[in-house]
């Protein structure tokens, strides 16, 4: 019965979150982390890594749509994409919805997560891992961008929070290497947690990105799983006009893409960059 077993996440010093585990589907360790999948009556299948909720079937579309469609439609001509992380396949699936995308390199440190997702999270990844445009690399994302991997129009850092394997993806060295991998006019987007609860994470990332890019800010999305307020998604580019694309142009691009969404719209795209004062203060 619902509520007999609970997954409790000590999210912050002042807050804990509990989700009812109606049925545990999988509980095992990969080479890098403990992976647990359980069913919840409201969120469907819930994936946790080392006890931290990563994604759920019910609300994954919000995060994945906003971290993919916003930069792709703002850029207008994305052909090559690099995804760092994203082992559940949800980000990859959204990126590949855009027919103009010709190539996606996805770098995931834990191959066990990818194989697990293919087997258990089909509602999230679909058939994205079988797309011929994908180059899947099982490696450390920070080490990958430090090499000579190619010129990308968009880099998406779909990482965990800055703890454990994800910590190196929140450093100035990592961001500098990402910039080096971007083609002219390229965009870097990142996940930066919930600024009401994690203000230091957003402030730190923006500060580092400002030393590298001409146009740096964040935009917001409200994801029920990530409690504590709206989630911040970092934005960095050398072309300020990409953040100021007219609404009508976004509408035309969105209509031409013929993709179906449940959260993203051109209007939501524009509104996401309107920051409340407490977030604007962190961005500076």
Ranges of beta strands (E only) in the chain are 6-12, 15-20, 23-29, 34-40, 44-49, 52-56, 80-85, 103-108, 134-138, 152-158, 182-191, 215-221, 231-237
Q: Which of 59, 88, 110, 158 is catalytic?
A: 158
HSE at residue 29, side-chain half, CA atoms within 13 A, is: 3
Query: Which of 269, 283, 275 is closest to 71 using CA atoms?
Result: 269
More confident residue, 194 or 164: 194
Chain segment 24-73, per-residue pLDDT in tens? 999 988 887 889 999 999 999 999 988 889 999 999 999 999 999 999 99
Cα separation, 137 vs 135, whole angstroms = 6
More confident residue, 171 or 127: 127
Adjacent-strand bridge partners of 221:
231
* Domain locations along the chain: 6-56, 60-283
Q: What does CATH list as the number for 60-283?
A: 3.40.50.150
Q: Which two tokens stand for residue 46?
A: 């819930």
Can you give the pLDDT at residue 148? 79
Q: What does CATH list as the number for 6-56?
A: 2.30.140.10
158 part of the active site = yes
DSSP class of 71: H
């Amino acid at each position: 019965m619902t509520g007999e077993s609970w997954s409790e996440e000590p999210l912050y010093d002042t807050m804990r979150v509990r989700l009812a585990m109606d049925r545990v589907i999988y509980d095992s360790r990969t080479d890098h982390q403990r992976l647990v999948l359980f069913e919840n009556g409201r969120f469907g299948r819930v994936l946790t890594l080392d006890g931290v909720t990563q994604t759920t079937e019910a609300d994954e579309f919000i995060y994945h749509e906003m971290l993919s469609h916003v930069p792709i439609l703002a850029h207008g001509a994305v052909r090559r994409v690099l995804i760092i992380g994203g082992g559940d396949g949800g980000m990859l699936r959204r990126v590949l919805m855009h027919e103009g995308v010709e190539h996606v390199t996805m770098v995931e440190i834990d191959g066990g997560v990818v194989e697990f997702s293919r087997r258990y999270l089909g509602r999230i990844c679909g058939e994205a891992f079988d797309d011929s445009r994908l180059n899947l690399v099982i490696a450390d994302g920070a080490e990958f961008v430090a090499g000579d991997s190619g010129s990308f129009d968009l880099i998406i850092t779909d990482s965990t929070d800055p703890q454990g394997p994800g910590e190196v993806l929140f450093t100035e060295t990592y961001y500098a290497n990402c910039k080096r991998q971007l083609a002219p006019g390229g965009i870097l987007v990142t996940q930066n947690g919930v600024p009401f609860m994690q203000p230091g994470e957003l402030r730190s990332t923006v500060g580092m990105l400002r030393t590298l890019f001409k146009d740096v800010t964040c935009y917001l999305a409200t994801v029920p799983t990530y409690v504590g307020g709206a989630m911040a998604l970092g934005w960095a580019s050398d072309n300020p006009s990409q953040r100021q694309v007219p609404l009508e142009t976004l509408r035309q691009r969105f209509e031409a893409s013929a993709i179906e969404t449940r959260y993203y719209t051109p209007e939501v795209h524009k509104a996401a960059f309107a920051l409340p004062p407490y977030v604007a203060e962190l961005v500076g």
